[in-house]
Amino acid sequence: MATSRLSDSTLEHFANVLHRRRDELVHLMASNDEALDEVRESLGEGTNDDEHDPEGPTMSDEWSKLTGLQTEGENELRELDAALERIKNHEFGMCESCGNAIGRPRLEARPYATLCIDCARKAESHG
């Protein structure tokens, strides 16, 4: 098991950041679920068919947007939960590729990062 090179206070800081973002995301996804329900009802009723409305997005466009946001939210939620698990297991802040510490600026920008900046760049250039 990798040993974290981050101090307990730093781990606590990132745990708080991750929990706050997780709470915010759960709230946003609940609101999005409500909006999806409204669109689903409108599509099911067939009375709000705006497929030919030149003034705004169609119901199917709205559905696509909302389901895309839900998928993104679910993915981020998995990343947040995995980062919280890494904190619990004292593996947070360590690059999964090279084993080196992930820089604090990268963790501040992306607290669920699993790769240091060098490995992330390599992965992007090969991906």
Which contiguous run of DSSP H or E holds residue 31?
A: helix 8-45
CA 80 remoteness from chain centre: 7
pLDDT tens, the chain, 127 aa long: 444 578 999 999 999 999 999 999 999 999 999 999 988 888 776 655 555 555 566 888 888 999 999 999 999 999 999 999 999 999 999 999 999 999 999 999 999 999 999 999 999 998 6
| Residue 94 β-bridge partners | 101
